[in-house]
Amino acid sequence: MEMARAPAPASSRPRTVEAIYKDFAGRRDGLVRALTSGESNTALSRVSCRRADVDDFYDFCDPEKENLCLYGNADGSWEVSLPAEEVPPELPEPALGINFARNGMHRRDWLSLVAVHSDSWLLSVAFFFAAPLSANERKRLFSLINDHPNVYESMVARKHSSGKSRHSSKPKPRREDVHAKNSRAVARGAEEDDDDDEDEEHSETFCGTCGGIYSASEFWIGCDICERWFHGKCVRITPAKAEHIKHYKCPNCSSSKKIRQ
């Protein structure tokens, strides 16, 4: 039976920019090890393992088990366990029940989802510790944190570019390519190799509405204003309707224009 985590002693909490950054870096390294291939003395519910990598993590997150959380520890290790029993918890808790969705998703999609939630948890813990700091100290802390690739970027081997927004760092597609993709639905019966190539090309593309990862088996449409991509079904655009759209504006961009007017 899995054991819930004990709260961290208050005396051990980092209190300076440097100490909080060191704590963040250790937790991040542990999470990266859990979601990629790596070696560490990882604790899995107090059971020591010689090899910790993505296969160990995947196998341990059995959907038949109770609500499980993925924790990165300050010493660079990781563990999967039940959440803290104390309410409210001593520290912000990571996403609960990550194991329940495992068998209902493609492995890569599930790992990507866990990585995104892990990035959110890392920042929440860091800024929980940073609450007493001054605005300039918090700004310096975030600058140090942002010099790292986040967990998701490390998992998908995306090239990290600090100092630029995630959207601006993506190459802008040619307008004719955008229209060609907007008006094209990928058939579900396409060859498997072609689907794999398409998925790999867009492995970093998320739906701007539901957050789902790109799949070649579904129709997608790109906004010509913000350059984000959407499931056709999420924005109520069919392939047939897309053929008559010259310049597509997503619901957010259309709403923004109305507000300015």
pLDDT higher than threshold 70 for residue 74: yes
Q: How confident is the model at residue 11 (pLDDT cuts 50, 70, 90)?
A: low
More confident residue, 87 or 31: 31
How far, in Å, CA of 231 to CA of 213, rounded?
Answer: 10
Are the beta carbons of 148 and 28 closer than 8 angstroms? Answer: yes
Region of residue 41 (left: phi > 0; alpha: psi -120 to 50; beta: else)? beta
pLDDT number for residue 116: 94
Are the beta carbons of 219 and 207 closer than 8 angstroms? Answer: no
pLDDT number for residue 156: 80
pLDDT higher than threshold 90 for residue 5: no
Cis peptide bond N-terminal to 7, omega within 30:
no
Averaged pLDDT of the chain: 77
pLDDT number for residue 200: 54
pLDDT higher than threshold 80 for residue 71: yes
pLDDT number for residue 182: 46
How far, in Å, CA of 175 to CA of 259, rounded?
Answer: 26
Q: What's the pLDDT tens digit per position in 96-136? A: 999 998 988 899 899 999 999 999 999 999 999 999 999 99
pLDDT number for residue 39: 41
Instruction: Tell me what the mean pLDDT of segment 236-251 comes to.
Output: 89
pLDDT higher than threshold 90 for residue 256: no
Q: What's the pLDDT tens digit per position in 131-164? A: 999 999 999 999 999 988 999 998 887 555 444 3
Give Cα 205 distance to the centre of its chain.
12
Cβ neighbour number for residue 69 with a 10 Å cutoff = 21
pTM of the model: 0.55
Q: How confident is the model at residue 26 (pLDDT cuts 50, 70, 90)?
A: very high
pLDDT number for residue 213: 83
Instruction: Tell me what the mean pLDDT of segment 59-79 comes to.
Output: 93
Q: How confident is the model at residue 211 (pLDDT cuts 50, 70, 90)?
A: confident
